[in-house]
């Protein structure tokens, strides 16, 4: 009988299109949560939605199926159970409500635009240009990779596409040019150092622009909700607030990693030759690359609200409008075509999973779950007798370092951030609330430094074999603490100068 059960289990494990054990664990989580009596202060339908939400997060963390499928599962369950409405029509309307959110479309369109970087070769050219300028020493190559990340960040909302798809192939090519190859056991010559810089530039630049990583618009939405729309991070506000601490982190990061994981080869004059050779092979700037540069320049001016500054507020454009304008320019000039748009799976995948997670967060808020959880957390913190500085520190650190438990930045932010922000909004004095919100916003990207599964970029770079697991976690922990200190000390002073507190 036991053998029959094993054979049956083995058959289903191979036959079904999902990971069977994680699926069973996820199902068990849903059943257990639904069997738990509704906590005091919540309506039954609110607790049912909590069960659906937590089950979705568990399914995403355990990678039962691709995140888009898990998001669709949430939409289906919300619609069938009618936890948000007393009719099926009302429930499906609620389940699909977030797909009209302009911030979601901003990310989707920006991903579509970023396809042009790879198609035209402009992304590789930018990386090689910085290597040719800074590549005489290994640390200079590190700075070249970091600057390349910074230049690309405002236009590549997929930090995975930027760090793993554009910068990482450049980094590997440079390492291989110096015979630094994990397969040969020579990864420490330059490859380990460059791979770590390649990765750690990614979370820093992700913290610097709304459009630098997919979950950032979700952070913007949560900050606005937690402050009752009292503080809204525009593209310009975010970029300005994160500019100085972000640049200082980028300045320090290659040096700190150089000390923690020094390359065996310190001088690399051949890197300049390599980069220039590759650029020569690419030839002069192609017309489509020029269109990409012009489009990026136009979008950056509009996102920075320059026309409104010069000509008045009537010229203000919503960032999503600017993104659609940029995409339309690229299409009508033939820089990318409609097939490129249709085949950019990551954009449409983002639309589905991001829209579903935003929907769940909105419905949890409407049903009073966020307020209930925030009040419970607030009561516990008040009972501890902590001052507001300690409260802010505990909230930021608990949020950031709990990322050891998550394999998805979006899942982490969706599960925890709004509640933490709401507690902070209730307990931190009003005059110090904005710096706390900005610290949480920065922390939502900085937490990606911690592990080799922290975000989509990490398994790509870690999987290339240049960095050992222990070294990755050691450098990640140090960089996380360092970047939090920079944002807390220099960032708060910068925000004071800007007049935000």
User: What would the pLDDT profile of 128-145 be if each residue is shown by its tens digit?
Assistant: 787 788 778 889 889 989
The tens digit of pLDDT for each residue in 330-359 reads 999 999 999 999 998 878 887 888 788 778
Res 14: pLDDT: 67
Tens digits of per-residue pLDDT, 234-286?
A: 888 999 999 999 999 999 999 999 999 999 988 877 778 878 888 888 899 99
Reported confidence tier of residue 66, pLDDT bands at 50, 70, 90: confident
The whole-number average pLDDT for the span 44-53 is 92
What was the pLDDT predicted at 120? 87
Mean pLDDT (whole number) for 182-196: 92
Instruction: Name residues whose C-beta falls within 8 Å of residue 102's C-beta, 6 or more positions apart in sequence.
Output: 318, 319, 320
Q: How far apart are the first and last CA of the chain?
A: 69
- Angle (CA) 222 226 227, round 5°: 120
Question: What are the tens digits of pLDDT across the range 394-408?
Answer: 999 989 998 887 767
218 burial via Cβ count (<10 Å: 0-12, 13-18, 19+): buried
**Mean pLDDT score across all residues of the chain:** 87
Task: Report pLDDT for 105.
Answer: 84
Whole-number pLDDT of residue 89: 93
Euclidean distance between CA atoms 130 and 125, whole angstroms? 9
Distance separating alpha carbons of residues 276 and 488, to the nearest angstrom: 40
Q: What is the pLDDT of residue 328?
A: 95
Cα 165 to Cα 102: distance, rounded to the nearest angstrom: 26
Crossing angle between the packed helical segments 388-401 and 418-427, to the nearest 10 degrees = 170
Q: Which residue in the block uniquely carries the two structure tokens 């300690």?
A: 390
Give the per-residue pLDDT at 255. Answer: 96
Count of C-beta atoms within a 10 Å radius of residue 277: 14
Residue whose pair of structure tokens reads 């307990």 in the numeric block? 427
Provide long-range contacts, Cβ within 8 A and 24+ apart, for 298-307. Answer: 298/325, 298/326, 298/329, 299/113, 299/155, 299/323, 299/325, 299/326, 300/154, 303/154, 303/211, 303/235, 303/236, 304/235, 304/236, 304/239, 305/234, 305/235, 305/236
Q: Is the pLDDT of residue 198 over 90?
A: yes
pLDDT band (50, 70, 90) for residue 126:
confident
Please say if the pLDDT value at position 421 is more than 90: yes
Going by C-alpha positions, the residue among 381, 372, 371 that lies closest to residue 41 is 372
The pLDDT of residue 8 is: 66
Compute the residue count for the chain. 501
Distance CA 254, CA 479 (A): 10
Mean pLDDT to the nearest integer, 356-381: 81
- Would you say residue 440 has pLDDT above 90? yes
pLDDT at 360: 85
User: Which of 42-56, 207-221, 442-456, 472-486 is predicted most confidently?
Assistant: 472-486
What is the reported pTM? Answer: 0.74
Segment 82-89 mean pLDDT: 91
């Amino acid at each position: 009988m036991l053998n029959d059960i094993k054979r049956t289990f083995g058959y289903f494990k191979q036959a079904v299109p999902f990971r069977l054990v994680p699926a069973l664990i996820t199902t068990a989580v849903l059943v257990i949560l639904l069997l738990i009596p509704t906590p005091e202060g919540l309506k039954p339908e609110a607790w049912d939605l909590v069960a659906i939400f937590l089950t979705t997060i568990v399914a995403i963390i355990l990678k039962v199926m691709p995140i888009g499928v898990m998001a669709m599962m949430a939409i289906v369950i919300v619609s069938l159970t009618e936890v948000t409405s007393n009719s099926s029509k009302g429930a499906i309307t609620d389940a699909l409500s977030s797909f009209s959110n302009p911030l979601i479309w901003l990310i989707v369109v920006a991903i579509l635009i970023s396809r042009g970087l790879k198609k035209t070769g402009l992304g590789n050219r930018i990386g090689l240009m910085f290597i040719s300028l800074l590549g005489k020493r290994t640390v200079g190559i590190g700075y070249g990779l970091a600057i390349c990340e910074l230049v690309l960040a405002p236009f590549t909302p997929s930090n995975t596409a930027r760090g793993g798809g554009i910068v990482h192939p450049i980094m590997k090519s440079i390492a291989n040019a110096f015979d630094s190859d994990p397969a040969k056991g020579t990864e420490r010559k330059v490859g380990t150092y460059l791979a770590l810089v390649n990765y750690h530039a990614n979370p820093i630049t992700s913290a610097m622009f709304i459009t630098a990583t997919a979950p950032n618009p979700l952070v913007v939405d949560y900050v606005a909700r937690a402050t009752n729309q009292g503080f809204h991070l525009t593209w310009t506000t975010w970029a300005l607030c994160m500019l100085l601490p972000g640049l200082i982190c980028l300045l320090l990061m290659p040096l700190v990693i150089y000390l923690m994981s020094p390359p065996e080869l310190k001088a690399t004059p051949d890197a300049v030759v390599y980069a220039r050779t590759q650029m020569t092979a690419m030839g002069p700037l192609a017309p489509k690359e020029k269109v990409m540069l012009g489009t990026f320049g136009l979008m950056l001016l509009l996102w920075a609200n320059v026309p409104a500054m010069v000509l008045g507020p009537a010229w203000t454009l919503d960032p999503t409008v600017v993104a659609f304008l940029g995409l339309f320019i690229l299409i009508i000039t033939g820089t990318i075509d409609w097939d490129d748009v249709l085949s950019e799976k990551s954009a449409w995948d983002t639309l589905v999973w991001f829209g579903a997670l935003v929907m769940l967060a909105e419905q949890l808020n409407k049903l009073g779950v966020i307020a209930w959880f925030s009040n419970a957390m607030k009561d516990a913190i008040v009972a501890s007798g902590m001052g507001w500085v300690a409260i802010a520190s505990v909230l930021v650190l608990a949020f950031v370092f709990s990322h050891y438990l998550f394999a998805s930045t979006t899942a982490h932010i969706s599960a925890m951030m709004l509640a933490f922000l709401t507690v902070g909004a209730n307990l931190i004095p009003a005059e110090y609330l904005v710096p706390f919100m900005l610290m949480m916003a920065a922390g939502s990207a900085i937490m990606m430094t911690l592990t080799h599964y922290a975000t989509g970029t990490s398994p790509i770079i870690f999987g290339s074999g240049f960095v050992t697991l222990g070294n990755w976690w050691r450098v990640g922990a140090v960089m996380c603490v360092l970047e939090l200190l920079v944002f807390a000390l220099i960032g708060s002073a910068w925000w004071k100068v800007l007049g935000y507190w």
